[in-house]
Amino acid sequence: MIADLSAADLEAFGARIQADYDAFRARGLKLDMTRGKPAPEQLDLAEGMLALPGNRDHLTEAGEDARNYGGVQGVAEVRALFSGTLGAKPERIVVGDNASLAMMHDSIVWALLKGVPGSAKPWGRESEIAFLCPVPGYDRHFAICEEYGIRMIPVPMTGHGPDMAKVEELVRDPAVKGMWCVPKYSNPSAESYSDETVRRLASMKTGAPDFRLFWDNAYVLHHLTDERREILNVLDACADAGNPDRAFVFASTSKMTLAGAGLAFFASSEANVKWYLARASKRTIGPDKLNQLRHVRFLRDEAGLVAHMDKHRALLAPKFQTVTDALTSRLANQGAARWIKPDGGYFVSVDVTEGAASRVVALAKDAGLLLTAAGATWPYGKDPHDSNLRLAPSYPSLSDVKAASEGIALCILLAAIESESARRRSEA
């Protein structure tokens, strides 16, 4: 432990780490671990899709011409293909275009302008509304709330989902209309919600009768080990608890097929799907159904989808292993950081000592290594502890991930040594 070192040992250790960091910086690398983007090799896995559906193949099973307008809910066989993954019957699924984030955004804007089933008035006409935001969480969720003036209330994650005692207490306030949830392999902590967490979210008493869980199951099939984690079906849990309209479920194939040209999904109760389609059909005459056909032709069935995800795993798992190996070899038992080895998802979340995260990001930047801004995993970009870092190892090559991980470990150590030295000076 750095904190236990004698003054002389701390100084010697600091000098050694500073020399390693200087050597790292002198390599003049340009590394980027900021965003959870699939690597080119992952996109190549779906290259065959670009030739599909192919000449003259434009009819759906029902005989609709996929080249034409219409079909706002999405092609039936596509909804059937993703039904198991989404945990909803095909008739309770809407297929959107290439971004689930857009479907989340639209749902919030429509709720603000029109209300949702069960609303006494549009959310935008309430004097104030708020969302619960488990932290660390996804910055783009928080950006939507910030954009539309929805107050964000952070709730800590526990290792098996958000702190439910806190959630149950906060949600009694009728101003709390929604909650962001990334229930499986969460962004960024990689934790999955326990069955008990899902049941409590489904059954808790809410002050707002039109409260919604924004259930962003972005990493539903994104396993990194052969233990394919399952979580409780939230739509069933809500229905069982007598709250059938509570959850809006979202997912997409952004990290299954093509991040910029995949399919997005909304799945929910009958009333919510009707509500969604009524709004969506004002917004568009129909989605890109050729892309939907391309996806069924390429993936074929759920087994095809799962097999495709195994190929992603083969490319991603070594990168995650490299990050956690580097952190372990440099940082184990130093008291400088805590992290867990993800078993799915796209991120490694690292908690460094309080007040050190922005220093780590600055040290890394100085050495040619871009990290997600400190604070990004908190509402308004402000981590009150300045301690959470989100590492995204998917995009860089394996050798770049190795170099970057080594660099990150050095920056964390250096920041920890600096703050320990400063602490001792201030106590002296």
Q: How far is CA 339 from the centre of its chain?
A: 17
- Residue 220 within binding range of ligand PMP, rule CB under 6 A: no
Of 5, 29, 43, 99, the one binding ligand PMP (CB under 6 A) is: 99
Conformational region of residue 401, where left means phi above 0, alpha means psi within -120 to 50, and beta covers everything else: alpha
Q: According to the binding rule CB under 6 A, does residue 119 interact with ligand PMP?
A: no
Candidate list 116, 182, 238, 327; residue touching ligand PMP; CB under 6 A: 182
Q: Which two tokens stand for residue 280?
A: 């969506």
CA angle 70, 54, 312 (to 5 degrees): 95
| Residue matched to tokens 């083969």 | 314
- Closest contact distance (angstroms) between CB of 97 and ligand PMP is 10
Q: Which of 139, 210, 216, 383 binds ligand PMP (CB under 6 A)?
A: 216
Residue 53 engages ligand PMP in binding (rule: CB under 6 A): no
Closer of 207 and 260 to ligand PMP (Cβ): 260
Q: Does 280 bind ligand PMP (CB under 6 A)?
A: no
- Confirm or reject binding of residue 107 to ligand PMP (CB under 6 A): no
- What is the DSSP-derived secondary structure letter of residue 390? E
Buried b (16+ CB within 10 A) or exposed e, 104-115: bbbbbbbbbeeb
Identify which of 351, 357, 355 has the alpha carbon closest to the alpha carbon of residue 338: 351
Least distance CB 94 / ligand PMP (angstroms): 14
Q: Which range touches ligand PMP (CB under 6 A), out of 81-89, 95-103, 198-206, 373-381?
A: 95-103
| Cβ at position 265, least distance to ligand PMP in Å | 9
Binding segment (CB under 6 A) for ligand PMP, from list 96-104, 121-129, 290-298, 396-404 = 96-104
Residue 351 near ligand PMP by CB under 6 A:
no
Q: Does 111 bind ligand PMP (CB under 6 A)?
A: no
Residue choice 14, 36, 115, 154 for contact with ligand PMP (CB under 6 A): 36
Write phi, then psi, for 167 (nearest 5 degrees): -60, -45
The structure tokens 């799915």 sit at 344
Q: Where are the alpha helices (DSSP H) in 87-171?
A: 100-114, 139-147, 164-170
135: contact with ligand PMP by CB under 6 A? no
Q: Torsion angle, CA of 353/359/186/322, rounded to 10 degrees?
A: -90
Q: Is 391 in the site for ligand PMP (CB under 6 A)?
A: no
Residue 214 as a binder of ligand PMP (CB under 6 A): the answer is no
Does 264 sit near ligand PMP (CB under 6 A)? yes
Beta bridge partners of 93: 267
Please say which residue, 142 or 211, places its beta carbon nearer to ligand PMP: 142
42 binds ligand PMP (CB under 6 A): no
Which of the ranges 10-18, 49-57, 99-107, 160-168 carries the binding residues for ligand PMP, by CB under 6 A? 99-107
What are the strands, taking DSSP E only, across 126-193? 130-135, 151-156, 176-181
* Region binding ligand PMP by CB under 6 A among candidate stretches 62-70, 97-105, 158-166, 225-233: 97-105
Contact between 271 and 245 (Cβ < 8 Å): yes
**Any alpha helices (H) in 127-194, and if so which ranges?**
139-147, 164-170
Residues 6+ apart with CB under 8 A from 154: 133, 134, 135, 378, 379
Asked if 237 touches ligand PMP (CB under 6 A), the answer is no
Number of residues that bind ligand PMP (CB under 6 A): 12
Contact residues for ligand PMP (CB under 6 A)?
36, 99-101, 138, 182, 187, 216, 218, 252, 254, 264
